[in-house]
Chain A
Amino acid sequence: MNATVIVFPGSNRDRDMIAALTAIGGKPPRVVWHQSDALPPSDLIVVPGGFSYGDYLRSGAIAARSPIMQKVRERAEAGVPVLGVCNGFQILTEAGLLPGVLMRNASLRFVCREVKLSVENTDSVFTSGYRPGAVIRCPVAHHDGNYFTDDETLARIEGEGQVAFRYAQGTNPNGSRNDIAGVFNDRRTVLGLMPHPENLIENAHGGIDGRPLFEALLKAA
Chain B
Amino acid sequence: MKARVTVTLKAGVLDPQGQAIQGSLKSLGFAGVGAVRQGKVFDILLEGTDEAAARADLTRMCEALLANTVIENYAIEIVP
Chain A residues near B65 (CB-CB < 8 A) = 57, 61, 65
Query: Is the CB–CB distance between B70 and A108 below 8 Å?
Result: no
User: Among the listed B17, B64, B66, B71, which residue makes an inter-chain contact with A148, where contact means beta carbons less than 8 Å apart?
Assistant: B71
**Bound form: Cα–Cα A131–B65 in Å:** 40
Chain B residues near A14 (CB-CB < 8 A) = none
**A38 sits at the interface (CB 8 A):** no
Known: A103-B14, A106-B14, A148-B13. A94 touches B68 (CB 8 A): yes
Query: Is the CB–CB distance between B71 and A101 below 8 Å?
Result: yes
**Bound form: Cα–Cα A101–B9 in Å:** 12
Give, as a whole number of angstroms, the nearest-CB distance from A203 to chain B: 38
**Bound form: Cα–Cα A11–B73 in Å:** 29
Query: Is the CB–CB distance between B70 and A106 below 8 Å?
Result: no
**B36 sits at the interface (CB 8 A):** no
**A58 sits at the interface (CB 8 A):** yes
**Bound form: Cα–Cα A105–B20 in Å:** 12
Chain B, Cβ-Cβ closest to A101: B70
User: Among the listed A65, A94, A104, which residue makes an inter-chain contact with B16, where contact means beta carbons less than 8 Å apart?
Assistant: A104
Chain B residues near A104 (CB-CB < 8 A) = 16-17
**Bound form: Cα–Cα A57–B70 in Å:** 15
Query: Is the CB–CB distance between A101 and B68 below 8 Å?
Result: yes
Chain B, Cβ-Cβ closest to A62: B65
Chain A residues near B66 (CB-CB < 8 A) = 57
**A139 sits at the interface (CB 8 A):** no
Query: Is the CB–CB distance between A149 and B68 below 8 Å?
Result: no
Give, as a whole number of angstroms, the nearest-CB distance from B79 to chain A: 21
Within 8 A of A (CB), among B31-75: 64-66, 68, 70-71
**Bound form: Cα–Cα A103–B16 in Å:** 10
**Bound form: Cα–Cα A146–B16 in Å:** 11
Query: Is the CB–CB distance between B68 and A61 below 8 Å?
Result: yes
**Could you pull out 10 A-B pairs where Cβ atoms are within 8 angstroms?**
A61-B65, A65-B65, A100-B70, A101-B71, A103-B14, A106-B16, A107-B16, A108-B17, A108-B20, A149-B70
| Known A57-B66, A100-B70; further 8 A-B contacts with Cβ < 8 A | A65-B64, A101-B70, A101-B71, A103-B71, A106-B14, A106-B16, A107-B16, A148-B13
